[in-house]
């Protein structure tokens, strides 16, 4: 039976190095499930696989889009399913996907609701309204139009609020109307491998990685995209904090400290999400032989 091996875990845990070993063992490329590594302008801040690593093993969805491009978990689901069915599973019984973006992984493994694609005019209108009116005003409008979704949405996340309003305005129906949360059947087996380390070790790895990013050019990378800082793609840890520094609100050292702190917070959020899935088999990424043996005996 065709099998999709999914290697997931929090930021900084060591997915990239391990997946290179697994991909070479399985003789398969890597499908990247990171919602920001797809953007070609952001290789440093997203810790995207390096050109050398991509020469070692072929990767899909790394640097494949621009930050101005609209992208979503739904589009990712459609494109990965086409890639698997029309290409990867045509030549092999095994495919490998790796990443830490919870919604993207769930979209491929479980499916995502068929919510209409927002047209450019509506998207542009809501982006302008967010800039002019602010998030609290749009959140209040969502409360009036779709109180059911308002109760569960992250009210501090402009992307979530704006997208729900886009659907309301474009379709004349509530965002809740389109959310069924039904799981789709997949014509292949899914083998989930979770990577984790002791919490203090993860904290130390994240702190060091942020410093390394700064050393190799994260500040310059952020300055290059600063004129486009309002884009959703840049509402991301590592860029938001540096933009705040560029705006003169904090100093550089404080921006680095905030990147470290917010990266650790995101890591905890990822683990909380993943721990709800009892289909995940957990490993320390240092145990590569054990992980590869588990894959070999499970597929």
CATH number of the domain residue 283 falls in: 3.40.50.300
User: 157 and 292: one domain?
Assistant: no
Domains of the chain: total: 2
The string of pLDDT tens digits covering residues 141-186 is 999 999 989 988 888 888 889 999 999 989 898 988 887 666 788 9
Where is 184: in which H helix or E strand? none
CB count, 10 Å around CB of 185? Answer: 6
pTM attached to this predicted model: 0.82
Rg (CA), the chain: 20
Where is 64: in which H helix or E strand? none
Percent of the chain beyond pLDDT 70?
99
User: 95 and 195: one domain?
Assistant: yes
User: 83 and 215: one domain?
Assistant: yes
User: 64 and 109: one domain?
Assistant: yes
User: 27 and 79: one domain?
Assistant: yes
pLDDT mean over 32-54: 97
Q: State how beta strands 280-283 and 94-99 pair.
A: unpaired
Q: CA dist 297 to 33, 39, 112, 186, Å?
A: 24, 35, 30, 21
User: 102 and 130: one domain?
Assistant: no
Q: CA dist 38 to 12, 29, 55, 92, 256, Å?
A: 18, 16, 17, 24, 23
Residue pair 274/103 in contact (Cβ under 8 Å)? The answer is: no
Q: What is the extent of the structural domain holding 33?
A: 3-113+182-298
The string of pLDDT tens digits covering residues 211-265 is 999 999 999 999 999 999 988 889 899 999 999 999 999 999 999 999 999 999 9
CB count, 10 Å around CB of 86? Answer: 9
Is 70 exceeded by the pLDDT of residue 38?
A: yes
């Amino acid at each position: 039976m065709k099998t999709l091996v999914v290697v997931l875990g929090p930021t900084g845990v060591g997915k990239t190095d391990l997946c290179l070993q697994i991909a070479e063992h399985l003789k398969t490329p890597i499908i990247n499930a990171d919602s920001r590594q797809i953007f070609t302008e952001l290789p440093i801040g997203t810790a995207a696989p390096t050109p050398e690593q991509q020469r070692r093993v072929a990767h899909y969805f790394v640097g494949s889009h621009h930050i101005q491009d609209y992208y979503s978990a739904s589009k990712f689901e459609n494109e990965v399913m086409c890639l698997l069915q029309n290409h990867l599973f045509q030549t092999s019984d095994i495919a490998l996907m790796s990443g830490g973006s919870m919604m993207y992984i769930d979209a491929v493994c479980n499916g995502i609701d068929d919510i209409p694609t927002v047209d450019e005019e509506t998207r542009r209108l809501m982006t302008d309204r967010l800039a002019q009116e602010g998030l609290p005003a749009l959140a209040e409008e969502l409360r009036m139009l779709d109180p059911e979704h308002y109760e569960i949405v992250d009210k501090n996340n402009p992307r979530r609020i704006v997208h729900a309003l886009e659907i309301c305005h474009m379709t004349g129906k509530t965002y809740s109307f389109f959310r069924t949360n039904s799981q789709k059947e997949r014509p292949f087996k899914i083998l989930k491998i979770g990577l984790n380390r002791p919490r203090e070790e993860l904290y130390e790895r994240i702190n060091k990685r942020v410093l390394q990013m700064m050393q190799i050019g994260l500040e310059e990378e952020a300055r290059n995209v600063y004129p486009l800082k309002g884009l959703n793609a840049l509402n991301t840890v590592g860029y938001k904090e540096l933009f705040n520094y560029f705006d003169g609100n904090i100093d550089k050292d404080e921006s680095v400290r905030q990147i470290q702190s917010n990266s650790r917070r995101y890591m905890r959020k990822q683990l909380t999400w993943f721990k709800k899935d009892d289909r995940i088999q957990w490993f320390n990424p240092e145990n590569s032989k054990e992980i590869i043996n588990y894959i070999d005996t499970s597929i």
